[in-house]
Amino acid sequence: MENVIKTDTGKGALLGSAGGAAIGAIVDSANPWAGVLIGAAGGALTGGLVGHFMDQRKQDLERTLQPQINAGQVNVSILADHSLLISMTHRSAFAPGSEVVNTAFIPTLRKVANVVSTYGKMTVSVIGHPDAIGSPQQRARLAGARAEAVRSQLIGMGVPSALISASGNPSGKYMDGRVELVLHPLRTG
């Protein structure tokens, strides 16, 4: 059981069953225990499917981005809500003070765009970070411009614009010009 919970599939099933059980008990007030069982089964199935889908996408991204990961240019991790965090370091995305995407970074973005376009069922949040220099206003503008530059590149690579949001994070813990992409699973229901 412990090994199952270490995967996002297992975590999703566990969290989904707990949420489904609570909803089931509320919905079936005449027989709350039956509602708990039915809700838990449905929630486990839904949560497990979302977790499994994102586990697979993480494996796809790690395989596709292996050269960049090995070079220390990209990190891929899974977040508690089944989202994937792809963090590009300052060495890979932008030159200091620039909002122009490095040409060496384009192949990495193309690989991410390909995974998102191929499998769908995900939205992308692009988060730009500034350099440590400049006024707070300059850092805010640079962070937002970097996020928008990456968003524009992804749209140009075929990712539908409705699935991509961009924002700058000028006051976060990173002041090194990195860009983060958060791939969120679409949840239907």
Which domain CATH number covers 118? 3.30.1330.60
Q: Tell me, yes or no, whether 69 and 122 share the same domain.
A: yes
pLDDT of residue 2: 45
pLDDT of residue 186: 79
pLDDT of residue 160: 93
Q: Tell me, yes or no, whether 54 and 81 share the same domain.
A: no
Domain count, the chain: 2
Q: Tell me, yes or no, whether 11 and 98 share the same domain.
A: no
Strand arrangement, sheet containing 84-88: 74-78, 84-88, 179-185, 122-128, 164-168
Q: Tell me, yes or no, whether 54 and 108 share the same domain.
A: no
Cα–Cα distance between 44 and 18 in angstroms, integer? 8
Q: Tell me, yes or no, whether 102 and 157 share the same domain.
A: yes
pLDDT of residue 30: 58
Q: Tell me, yes or no, whether 54 and 70 share the same domain.
A: no
pLDDT of residue 29: 54
Q: What is the DSSP secondary-structure string of 157-179? A: TT--GGGEEEEE-TTSS--B--E
pLDDT of residue 80: 81
Q: Tell me, yes or no, whether 124 and 156 share the same domain.
A: yes
pLDDT of residue 64: 87
Q: Tell me, yes or no, whether 98 and 16 share the same domain.
A: no
Domain boundary among 33, 58, 83: 58
- Nearest CA among 169, 125, 164 for reference residue 144: 169
What DSSP designation does 102 have? P
Structural domain span for residue 23: 2-58
Domain boundary among 58, 85, 101: 58
pLDDT of residue 5: 44
Domain boundary among 11, 43, 58: 58
Q: Tell me, yes or no, whether 72 and 141 share the same domain.
A: yes
Q: Tell me, yes or no, whether 44 and 123 share the same domain.
A: no
- What is the full per-residue pLDDT of the chain (189 aa) written as tens digits? 444 445 554 544 444 444 444 444 455 555 555 544 454 445 444 545 556 767 787 888 889 889 988 988 888 988 888 888 999 876 678 888 899 998 888 999 999 998 888 877 789 999 999 988 889 999 999 999 999 999 999 999 999 999 999 999 988 788 888 899 999 987 654
Q: What is the DSSP secondary-structure string of 9-71? A: HHHHHHHHHHHHHHHHHHH--SSHHHHHHHHHHHHHHHHHHHHHHHHHHHHHHHHHTHHHHHT
Q: Tell me, yes or no, whether 31 and 79 share the same domain.
A: no
Q: Tell me, yes or no, whether 36 and 72 share the same domain.
A: no
